């Protein structure tokens, strides 16, 4: 293969590899955050007390939790 073809393959392949790595890291991070939240809910005996609807384009619907001795928490759906 010529140097030009190798360069083109590298330029086209690098963003794909980086994108796949970022996508995989996002999945791992989401799973970790969900596990941490589940542990918090269990530890502080949280109960769902309501839901807050989506209010605009940049907001999301939220679930409202009340936890023993720690207050009220809002979590995006």
Same domain, 2 and 36: yes
What's 71's DSSP letter? Answer: E
Do residues 53 and 76 share a domain?
yes
pLDDT score for 24: 95
- CA–CA distance, 37 with 22 (Å, rounded to integer): 22
Alpha-carbon span 70 to 18, nearest angstrom: 40
pLDDT tens-digit profile of 35-70? 999 999 999 899 999 999 988 888 899 999 999 888
CA dist 56 and 45 (Å) reads 31
Owning domain of residue 24: 1-43
Contact indicator for 33, 42 with CB cutoff of 8 Å: no
Percentage, residues of the chain above pLDDT 70: 99
Q: Are 31 and 2 found together in one domain?
A: yes
User: What percent of the chain clears pLDDT 90, i.e. is strictly above it?
Assistant: 64
Place 23 in a pLDDT band, splitting at 50, 70 and 90.
very high
Q: Please list the alpha-helical segments (H only) found in 1-77.
A: 3-43
pLDDT of 1 higher than 80? no
Domain check: are 53 and 32 in the same one? no
Quote the number of domains for the chain.
2
- How far apart CA 7 and CA 76 sit, in angstroms, is 44
């Amino acid at each position: 293969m010529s140097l030009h073809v190798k360069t083109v393959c590298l330029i086209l392949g690098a963003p794909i590899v980086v994108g796949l790595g970022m996508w995989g890291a996002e999945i791992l991070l989401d799973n970790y955050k969900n596990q941490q939240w589940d542990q918090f809910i269990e530890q502080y005996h949280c109960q769902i007390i309501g839901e807050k609807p989506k209010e605009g384009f940049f907001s999301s619907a939220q679930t409202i939790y009340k936890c023993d001795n720690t207050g009220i928490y809002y979590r995006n759906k």
